[in-house]
């Protein structure tokens, strides 16, 4: 089966890829399935040394929770890896397959069961199947499922501080080789991880994939601070770095120094997003599908997103291989893949949203939204009947709008979007700003 990859970036190293990414056993397994064995071994050889503990501290680095992480062999048990290294390994030997600098814009049906993808430079290509693996802001999803909802949960600043010959002399031991979090007033104020590869990546490449050039990544501390000021969401690295330094002024002096000694240009903002479930689309558009964050982007709270994207790749590859071998139809292969990814992908997205490691989920973008919720929760309780307007469909029911700033999920019924219904409140969760309702059987008006 022929395949071509169209990538918006002009090269693998075009933009900062971010820092560490943790793969669990499921992600390692999927990677192992999808890669030639020497490249999988190279991922493991270039992985980041395992953290020895997980520690939560107060602003002066007094530990509250301090748990050693059990030593485990890197490999099929999972491992941490630098994003750029993983990307460079995934792209190995694909020079003839990947076209860089190709920004997908839209697709159209050709009328003979195939699909044409159009790119920003005016070129196009025709295929039997278009797979949108274009991330959280997927242009493929925008056309395929225009009413899909992706919430912004919160923003953070990511930065990195190089580990030089002298850094480890002044960084407190409790922060080294740990997943370390500092909380202030029960909110995360600072988090960091130590990122040192097990061996220099170029040396591992020379041993396991001669001819493959990997970018060496010297050791560094990756750190995160909150970014609550919306006016800084598109600020440049220097402004974000200054803001991060301001955020940690009241914390232990070593944290201030870590930020002072950071690689300023490597500071960037991250919007943590989370997708709501969508209906299957394969009956409607059988030759376009989605993979990874393009369909079920999720908070990194539990470190699942890339694991699930890799699992998607593995099961889609398997389904297509069975179709090519004549074991099932092409349409059934895609439908089977979609059914699975919607099930486990959105289960993981929900779990990540509720993770204790994220800041309060569903933080309202405007203070008015929170007061609407406060007011609604103060004046309503389970069992009350309220009016709601159906705004979209879910596999388990429907989205409903109840009142300004208050939306919920109607469980177990699929009325047409736009219908107005009397619904009974099943549960109100003020912390998570979740409302679930059930029908009473009464339409008010359509």
Smaller CB separation from ligand FAD, 132 or 397 = 132
User: Rounded to 5 degrees, what are φ and ψ at 374?
Assistant: -55, -45
Residue 162's CB is within 10 A of a number of other CB atoms, namely 13
Give the pair of three-digit tokens for residue 212: 């493959």
**Nearest Cα residue to 78 out of 54, 42, 47:** 47
- Work out how close the CB of 326 gets to ligand FAD at its nearest, in angstroms, rounded to a whole number: 30
Residue 2's CB is within 10 A of a number of other CB atoms, namely 6
300 in contact with ligand FAD (CB under 6 A): yes
397 in contact with ligand FAD (CB under 6 A): no
- Taking CB under 6 A as the criterion, the residue among 135, 256, 364, 417 binding ligand FAD is 135
355 in contact with ligand FAD (CB under 6 A): no
- Taking CB under 6 A as the criterion, the residue among 159, 226, 269, 292 binding ligand FAD is 292
139 in contact with ligand FAD (CB under 6 A): yes
Rounded to 10 degrees, the C-alpha dihedral 338/340/344/350 comes to 40
29 in contact with ligand FAD (CB under 6 A): no
- Work out how close the CB of 421 gets to ligand FAD at its nearest, in angstroms, rounded to a whole number: 36
387 in contact with ligand FAD (CB under 6 A): no
Integer Cα distance of 75 and 121 in angstroms: 41
User: Rounded to 5 degrees, what are φ and ψ at 318?
Assistant: -65, -45
Rounded to 10 degrees, the C-alpha dihedral 205/211/214/215 comes to 120
9 in contact with ligand FAD (CB under 6 A): yes
Stretch that binds ligand FAD, among 203-211, 286-294, 323-331, 437-445 (CB under 6 A): 286-294
Helices (H) and strands (E) in the chain, counts: 12, 21
Per CB under 6 A, which of residues 176..215 are in contact with ligand FAD?
Answer: none
Is 333 in contact with 319 (CB distance < 8 Å)? yes
- Taking CB under 6 A as the criterion, the residue among 7, 29, 88, 338 binding ligand FAD is 7
Cβ-based neighbours of 360, under 8 Å, separated by 6 or more: 154, 187, 431
> Mask 306-325, x = binds ligand FAD (CB under 6 A)?
xx-x----------------
- Work out how close the CB of 385 gets to ligand FAD at its nearest, in angstroms, rounded to a whole number: 40
> Mask 94-123, x = binds ligand FAD (CB under 6 A)?
---------xx-------------------
304 in contact with ligand FAD (CB under 6 A): yes
Integer Cα distance of 374 and 430 in angstroms: 7
Smaller CB separation from ligand FAD, 346 or 399 = 346
Is 35 in contact with 46 (CB distance < 8 Å)? no
**Beta strands 220-226; 150-162: pairing state:** antiparallel
Positions that interact with ligand FAD (CB under 6 A): 6-9, 21-22, 27, 103-104, 133-135, 139, 270, 292-294, 300, 303-307, 309
């Amino acid at each position: 089966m022929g395949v071509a990859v169209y990538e918006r970036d002009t090269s693998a190293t075009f933009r900062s890829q971010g820092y560490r990414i943790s793969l669990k056993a499921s992600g390692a397994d999927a990677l192992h399935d999808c890669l030639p064995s020497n490249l999988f071994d190279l991922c493991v050889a270039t992985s980041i040394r395992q953290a020895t503990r997980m520690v939560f501290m107060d602003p002066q680095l007094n530990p509250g929770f301090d748990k050693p992480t059990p030593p485990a062999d890197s490999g099929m048990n999972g491992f941490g890896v630098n994003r750029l290294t993983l990307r460079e390994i995934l792209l190995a030997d694909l020079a003839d397959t990947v076209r860089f600098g190709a920004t997908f814009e839209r697709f159209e049906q050709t009328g003979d069961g195939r699909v044409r993808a159009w790119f920003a430079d005016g070129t196009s290509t025709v295929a039997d199947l278009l797979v949108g693996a274009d991330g959280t802001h997927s242009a493929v999803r925008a056309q395929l499922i225009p009413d899909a909802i992706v919430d912004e949960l919160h923003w953070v600043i990511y930065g990195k501080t190089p580990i030089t010959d002298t850094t480890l002399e002044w960084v407190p031991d409790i922060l080294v080789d740990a997943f370390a979090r500092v909380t202030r007033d029960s909110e995360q104020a600072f988090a960091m991880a130590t990122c040192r590869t097990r061996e220099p990546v170029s040396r591992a490449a020379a041993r396991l994939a001669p001819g493959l050039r990997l970018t060496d990544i010297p050791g560094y501390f990756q750190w995160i601070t909150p970014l609550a000021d919306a006016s800084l969401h598109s600020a440049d690295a220097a402004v974000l770095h200054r803001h991060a330094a301001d955020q940690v002024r009241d914390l232990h002096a070593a944290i201030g120094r870590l930020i002072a000694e950071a690689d300023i240009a490597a500071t960037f903002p991250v919007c943590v997003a989370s997708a709501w479930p969508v209906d299957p689309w394969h009956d409607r558009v059988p030759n376009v599908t989605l993979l990874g964050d393009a369909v079920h982007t999720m908070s990194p709270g539990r470190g699942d997103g890339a694991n699930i994207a890799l699992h998607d790749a593995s099961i889609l590859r398997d389904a297509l291989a069975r179709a090519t071998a004549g074991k099932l139809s092409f349409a059934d292969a895609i439908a089977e893949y979609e059914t699975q990814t919607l099930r486990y992908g959105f289960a993981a997205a929900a779990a990540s949203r509720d993770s204790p490691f994220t800041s309060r989920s569903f933080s309202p973008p405007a203070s008015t939204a929170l007061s609407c919720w406060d007011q609604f929760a103060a004046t309503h309780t389970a069992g009350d009947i309220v009016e709601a307007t159906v705004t979209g469909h879910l596999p388990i029911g429907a989205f409903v709008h109840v009142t300004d700033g208050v939306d919920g999920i109607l469980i177990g019924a699929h009325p047409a979007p736009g219908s107005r219904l009397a619904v009974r409140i099943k549960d109100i969760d003020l912390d998570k700003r979740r409302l679930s309702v059930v029908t009473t059987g009464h339409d008010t008006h359509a």
